[in-house]
Amino acid sequence: MDSEDDMMDANDVESVDDDFYSGDMEDDYYSDGVYYDNDDDDVNDDDDGPDYDFMAEAVDDPDDLSFRSQLLIFCMCFLFQQSYTVLKEEDIRQRQEDDITRVSTVLSISRVAASILLRHYNCESVNCVWKITMATCACCAVELLLSWCSNEIQHCRSISKVHDAWFSDEDAVRISVGLLDKQVVQFSNARELTCGICFESFPRNKIISASCGHPFCNTCWSGYISTTINDGPGCLMLRCPDPSCRAAVGQDMINLLAPDEDKEKYSRYLLRSYVEGNRKTKWCPAPGCEYAVDFAAGSGSFDVSCLCSHSFCWNCVEEAHRPVDCGTVEKWILKNSAESENMNWILANSKPCPKCKRPIEKNQGCRHMTCTPPCKFEFCWLCLGAWSDHGERTGGFYACNRYEAAKQEGAYDESERRREMAKNSLERYTHYYERWASNQLSRQKALADLHQMQTVHLEKLSDVHCTPESQLKFITEAWLQIVECRRVLKWTYAYGFYLPEHEHGKRQFFEYLQGEAESGLERLHQCAEKELQQFLAADGPSKEFDEFRTKLAGLTSVTKNYFENLVRALENGLADVTHAACSKTSSSKNASVSKGKGGKGKGGKMGGSSKNGDD
């Protein structure tokens, strides 16, 4: 694939529609700031969505094979048409207000009470469509879809836990949430009331009560609310100050009694609770980012990209790591930060002093070791024996044959074996970690170069070579491909570290694909980084720029193909190796059988010939 012909042929390769790399990245963003991932460019403007009419036609005979086949097709279309939405603060707030309005309307309660109910039930709705899309495989989704279709193929309605619980037992919900429908404390027509906290008497217009009726003065209420808000998000479940009362305190009292600073804090807690209490929505983990991602299951990948340009895995909230699964990423990150690696290094590179047992590293010099004060014990690095015992009988001061003889005889103690194993394990881990970290640094540098290219160099190239910036898009695409490939390549080293050693066929296939992809990426990166410099430094248009355009676009396409193959193979668990091995075994067995049959037939023929001769 190093030739120019290969690079040109790669431009004609069609990408798989549902592949991670297919589609134009810039076309996925719309002016409203909300991200929608949809690769279907052939849909008519008049089409409101998928055509499900075939389900109504086939439902009369649900056992019919064609019906199930069509249903499977529908289910797969349903699973993969979904994606994710990036939400700004105003989008989140609008959704929260819409939910509050819906609950308030259906239950005929105030918006404050509806807000308290939603927080109590974590703002979560039980949606059967969500259950279908959360199915781990197409077969499970089909079964769920069949059960859904059994009730006259009606569209599922989102029935919230709030509605369900409220209509089941309204009184029980009111008590548990703290929405009392009548006051617990009744007062006479006295002009003054006593505050339940400071125990001072105040006119009735200076006393405020929650739905329970317990009287507290404005000052005590303000202090109680401010203290609770400053304690953290627990203020969202604020209750009456009376220890025996469970009456809820709503946002109306917060707005009435709290200072502006505390109101702002409460509003932020309220907003964050809507996201954190919804299992389909998560905050972007990038530092300083205030966007959230609403994920619709079934999009085929958990990798999402926020408007802040940070890409992460929605499932584990680590950085995007396709094609490696979340479990492998968790183990790898834990290993990188675990103290066990420090112990492995100590075991592999040091030995304990025979006297004080402190670990000592031998980084240079002879085998004569002297422990640090106050121990100062002198010993041999090889056999750990006292240096005073080393002389002519041990082969000389600098050639201790005691250790070598013991090693040859197999008298290799357990600690030495452990040290050797730790050293091998550390060397293997270091091999993969260094390459993982190197690609991470290369990706960060590529991101910085991409930013500089978009903000500075493209305009300069456009002026120097008299070319519109729209025709320089191939340079940006190359850098975007480099950034993405560095990310994928980085995580393939974590994948390789946990690939079982005994699966030699898979390991060889993996290393071949990884090597091809890495080689292609290095050629692309060098072309985009080094060869572009001469055109940036040029004083005027150059004929070689068109050749550079063709070369860079070709390398981008070839590298994309390499990484598509790598990603596809790893996501399939390197199944091609297993299939190839099975096919090879089957072919060998067939060949053996054919050979046996052929030999037997030949023998029979020879026997017949001999018999005829005897006759």
Q: In the chain, what is the straight-line distance between the N-terminal and C-terminal CA atoms, in Å? A: 68
Write out the two tokens for 247.
């009456």
Alpha-carbon span 457 to 472, nearest angstrom: 10
- Nearest Cα neighbor of 291 from 304, 308, 279 is 308
Element (H, E) at 101: helix 89-107
Specify whether the CB–CB gap between 203 and 183 falls below 8 A. no
Alpha helices, H only, 11-127: 53-58, 65-81, 89-107, 111-120
Tokens of 199: 């125990």
- 30-66 in b/e form (b: 16+ CB < 10 A) is eeeeebebebeeeeeeeeeeeeeeebeebeeeeeeee
> Three-state SS for 57?
helix
Contact by Cβ (8 Å): 347, 416: no
Q: Which residues contact 419 (CB under 8 A, 6 or more apart)?
A: 347, 348, 351
Q: DSSP letters of 140-182?
A: HHHHHHHHHHTTTTPPP--EEHHHHHHHH-HHHHHHHHT--SS
DSSP string, 401-431: HHHHHHHHHT---HHHHHHHHHHHHHHHHHH
- Marked catalytic residue, from 77, 198, 366, 582: 366
Task: State yes or no: is 485 an active-site residue.
Answer: no
CB 493 within 8 A of CB 329: no
Strands (E), 88-222: 125-126, 159-160, 192-194, 201-203, 207-208, 216-217
Minimal CA–CA distance to 83: which of 46, 30, 126? 30
Decide if 289 contacts 296 (C-beta within 8 A).
no
Whether residue 231 contacts residue 253, with contact meaning beta carbons closer than 8 Å, is answered with: no
DSSP state of 391: S
| Nearest partner of 227 among 256, 254, 246, judged by Cα | 254
As to burial, measured by CB atoms within 10 angstroms (0-12 exposed, 13-18 middle, 19+ buried), residue 526 is: exposed
Apex 229 CA angle, 111 and 243, nearest 5: 85
| Residue whose token pair is 């025996």 | 244
Question: 60: which 2 tokens?
Answer: 């009369």
Q: What DSSP character marks residue 386?
A: B
Which 8-state DSSP code applies to residue 319? B
Structure tokens that stand for 317 in this block: 């909230």
Query: How many C-beta neighbours within 10 Å does residue 488 have?
Result: 25
Whose tokens are 């031998």? That residue is 362
**Secondary structure in 3-state letters for 280-297:** CEEECCCCCCCCEEEECC
Catalytic residue numbers read: 366
